[in-house]
Structure 1
Amino acid sequence: MKHLFSFLLAVLLAGAAQAQGVLTFDKELHDFGSVPEGTMATHEFRFKNTGNQPIIIANVQASCGCTTPDWTKTPVLPGKTGIVKAVYSSAGRPGVFNKTVTVTSNATTPSSVLTIKGNVLNKEQMKSSLTPQQIAQSPRLTLDRAVHNFGKMEAGQSLTAKFTVKNTGKQDLVLGAITSQCYCVGYKNVPGPIKPGQSSVVELVYSQRKLGEQAEPVVITSNDITGDAKLTLKANVVQDLNGSSMVKESGASVPFK
């Protein structure tokens, strides 16, 4: 009887071990090849659950802050598919890259490593590798204006500036990262690829803590190989916007009662 019980227990444990999801990726390495500096190199790794239990991805961890992961958050049933997306920010990172994302799940193999690699080329390198015809067919980024003045703002306050971006080129325009010396400018929204001849509104968030008159140069990178878009955000930053409004701008003293 004891041997029979041990045998049945072993069968049950074996069956439980076999009742599990299996994470099967179509590939575990993606080579972007040459990537124009300033673009967000994006790839979706597709997988299928080839097991017999649902798969839940608990987390996806990138090997560096330059890579942003995303993934299917809902349970993936047996026979169904999902994705793990890796986005590499190439702005300010010319040269060869090789990055990984680690997928943690309840599958039979609880940890899977996916790899993206490529070679980021700056604008001059890209132009030298293309024919005049290819350059003529490339996208072109045009801004509706080069300067936005917020006027008076409080230190640390976040204000939004809207710019209209038009693609005057022949291929889809893809916006990349924003760079500024103060690290106080970012996207509020990033539009998808802009078709040739089409326009889209880009919202930039400005949050400056340095007091006084400010003029912040900002660069918007893209896949426009002719160059990046440059603009300037201006503001008069004060410590306390409400307090400063109680005195005259001329600097004359105002007695308080």
Structure 2
Amino acid sequence: MNKKLYLLLLLCFLIASYKVNAQGKLIYKNESHDFGTIAEGTLASYEFLVKNVGDQPVIIANVQPSCGCTTPEWPKDPILPGKIAKIKAMYNSTGRPGPFNKSITITSNAETPSHVLYIKGEVGPKDLKTNYTEEQKLNSPRLAVGRTSYTFGKLEKGQKAIARFTIKNNGLKPLIIQGVRSACNCVSYKVSEPEIKAGQQAILELTYTPMLLKEQNEVVTVLSNDIVMPGLKLMLKAEVVESLASKNMLREGTQPSPFR
């Protein structure tokens, strides 16, 4: 056999062999999360950290919860080798008193194409109150915030707007933001750190989507594992107006223009 042809075939074989063996691989920092006891009506949330330790990008095709009470969020872009991503699981406790144990199945093109994560906890009464000793209070995480209100100014009805708050853990144990609650059910949240260590800061983002007109003052309760103050109240203020685009369309007229 011609030497050049032999070397070419060998190179093709090595490349094909590499492609067969090269694959992304996901490892998870935690396989499960226990929310503990939460008040009914809480939208409990936790972010699972996942890292691609393989040598090819990994695409998460789907994240399927075991019931409609759990809403997942996951990265739609490929997770590159060496990179870390977050898979968020949100449990809606409204109307679901008692213990819960739910699974979330991740499907991807990783070496292990299917992986299951778990969340659990117990839903207590809406006005959940627990007696703690002074020692337990001293050892608790403590949620602190620099300001307690945010003014957006004018917002269009249905427009999404983000308010950012700097929060700090002044306690001795890791602080976990477990959810937010608002009367309008129009506020969602995101935290820059899933667990805020003692003395550390993080950014809390509240995404507000107003659906009522005129001046709005939305009280948002931030729920955490701070046993001294498990519900920190923040205020979102805005003057909500009709969509400016809709007004412009009405002003310009709605008569269709024929093709020419």
TM-score class, shorter-chain normalisation, is 0.5 to 0.7
Amino acid of the residue matched to residue 36 of structure 2?
A: V
Query: What is the CA distance between 1:96 and its match in structure 2?
Result: 1.6
Is this contact kept in 2: 1:69–1:84, CA < 8 A?
no
**Corresponding residue of 1:191:** 192
Residues 6-33 of structure 1: CA distance to partner in whole angstroms, max 9, x if unpaired?
xxxxxxxxxxxxx999xxx99xx96655
**Corresponding residue of 2:137:** 135
Query: What is the CA distance between 1:147 and its match in structure 2?
Result: 2.4
Is this contact kept in 2: 1:180–1:217, CA < 8 A?
yes
Is this contact kept in 1: 2:167–2:204, CA < 8 A?
yes
Change in Cα spacing, 1:209 to 1:115, as seen in structure 2 (3 Å) is closer
**Corresponding residue of 2:234:** 231
- TM-score normalised by length of structure 1: 0.59
Root-mean-square deviation (Å): 4.6
Match status 1:68 vs 2:69? no
Distance in 1, matches of 2:174 and 2:92, equals 18
Unaligned runs of 5+ in 1: 1-18, 77-82, 245-257
Determine which structure has more spread, i.e. the larger CA radius of gyration.
1
Match status 1:174 vs 2:172? no
Amino acid of the residue matched to residue 182 of structure 2?
A: S
- TM-score normalised by length of structure 2: 0.58
Distance in 2, matches of 1:56 and 1:196, equals 33
Query: What is the CA distance between 1:91 and its match in structure 2?
Result: 6.2
Query: What is the CA distance between 1:195 and its match in structure 2?
Result: 3.0
**Corresponding residue of 2:216:** 214
How many residue pairs get aligned? The number is 216
Change in Cα spacing, 1:167 to 1:243, as seen in structure 2 (3 Å) is same
Query: What is the CA distance between 1:88 and its match in structure 2?
Result: 3.9
Distance in 1, matches of 2:124 and 2:187, equals 22
Match status 1:164 vs 2:166? yes
**Corresponding residue of 1:95:** 98
Distance in 1, matches of 2:135 and 2:147, equals 29
Change in Cα spacing, 1:56 to 1:169, as seen in structure 2 (3 Å) is closer
Query: What is the CA distance between 1:171 and its match in structure 2?
Result: 1.7
Moved more, 89-98 or 204-213: 89-98
Moved more, 60-69 or 115-124: 115-124
Identity %: 33
Unaligned runs of 5+ in 2: 1-19, 248-260
